[in-house]
Amino acid sequence: MRAPSGEATHCHRSGQRLTTSVIIPTFNESKNIGWVLRRLPPVDEILVVDRCSPDRTGEIAKALHNRVRVINEPRRGKGTALRTGFDAAACDVVVMVDADGSMDPAEMPLYVDGIAQGYDFVKGSRFMAGGGSDDITPTRALGNHVLTRTTNLLFMSRFTDLCYGFMAFRRSALPDLRLSSTGFEIETEIVVNAVMANLRILEVPTHERQRRFGESNLRAIRDGQRVLSTILRERFGTWNHDELTLVKGRSSAATATNPHDIEDEEVIDLRADSLLSTAHEPSAP
C-alpha cells in the first residue's frame, strides 16, 4: 500500500543528520527502475528525472515507491537531466545513481558517510582496490584510462576512474561545480570543476554491474570526444576564432562562441598587442 505522497520535500533537518536527495536520470528504464528503487536505502527525497520515456518509466517509478517525485525533462541528454534534478533537489547531500541496474544503490551509505566525514564530493571508482566492473568493454576501459590519466596530468589530481557517474556531493557545493553539460560528459565536468573549486574529494570503491535490461545510450567515440573537450575547455578555456580570445569558464548557454554571452568567466585576450602585457597563467587547480 502506498503512503500518500505530495510535492512537499522531506528534507527538513533532523538534528545533525544530513538529509539526502537521490537523483535518478531515466530514459526507457521501466524494466530496471524497480530493482533500483528496491535497493535504495532510506533517503529523504528521490527525484526521477525522466525523458518522457515511451515505456512509461516515470509512471512506473512513482507507483513503486512513495518517496519518488518524477520530473519530466523532455530535452535529450543525461547531463541535462541531472542538472534539472540538481536544481530541484532540496536536501543536504545529493547522490546521483543510474537507473539501469549497473550501480547498486545499496552502496550509497559509503558515499553519504564520506560527506558526513567532511568531504564535499565523493565519487565511485571501479579501478581502486575493492572496486570492479562486469560491464565495461575493452574500448571503454582504454578510453577511460587515457582520459583519467589526461585529467590527472592537467589538473594535478590522482583519480583512479573518471567516466563513472555514481557520485555524491554536498548540495551547497553545487554553484562551485558550474555545470552546463548536456550529455554524459557531465560526470567529467563535475570531477574537474570539483578540483578547480578546491573541494575536499574522496574516491570510494564501487562495483559496476551489467545493465539489467536494454541497451546503453552512450556512444564511446562520440562521448569520449565530448569528455576530452570538457577536460580541455575547463583547463585551458575556449578559443574564440572571431575575436582571437581564449575564454575561461563557460556560458550558461549551449556554446561559448560569443564571449559577450558568457557569465562568470575570465576572458584572456590573446591578441598580439595585449600578449605583450598579459601572460596567460592558468589558475592552479
Ligand X SMILES: Nc1nc2c(ncn2[C@@H]2O[C@H](COP(=O)(O)OP(=O)(O)O)[C@@H](O)[C@H]2O)c(=O)[nH]1
Q: How far is the CB of 42 from ligand X (least distance, A)?
A: 21
Burial class (CB in 10 A: 0-12, 13-18, 19+), 140: middle
52 vs 218, beta carbon nearer Mg ion: 218
- Determine which residue in the list 28, 53, 102, 125 makes contact with Mg ion, applying CB under 5 A: 102
Among ligand X, Mg ion, none, residue 27 binds (CB under 5-8 Å by kind): ligand X
Nearest distance in Å: CB 54, ligand X? 12
Provide the minimum distance between the beta carbon of 242 and ligand X in the complex, in angstroms, as a whole number.
Answer: 31
Residue 206 lies near Mg ion (rule: CB under 5 A) = no
For residue 177, the one-letter residue type is L
**What does 222 bind: Mg ion, ligand X, none (CB cut-off 5 to 8 Å by kind)?**
none
The binder of 49, among Mg ion, ligand X, none, by C-beta within 5 to 8 A per type, is ligand X
CA pseudo-torsion sign 110, 132, 83, 212: negative
Strand locations in the chain (E): 20-26, 45-50, 68-72, 93-96, 121-125, 132-133, 167-170, 201-205, 207-208, 238-240, 245-248, 266-269
Residues that bind ligand X (CB under 6 A): 25-27, 29, 49-51, 73, 76-78, 81, 98-100, 102, 184, 211, 216-218
Q: What is the DSSP letter of 44?
A: S
CA pair distance 38, 50, nearest whole angstrom? 18
Give contact residues for Mg ion (rule: CB under 5 A): 100, 102, 211
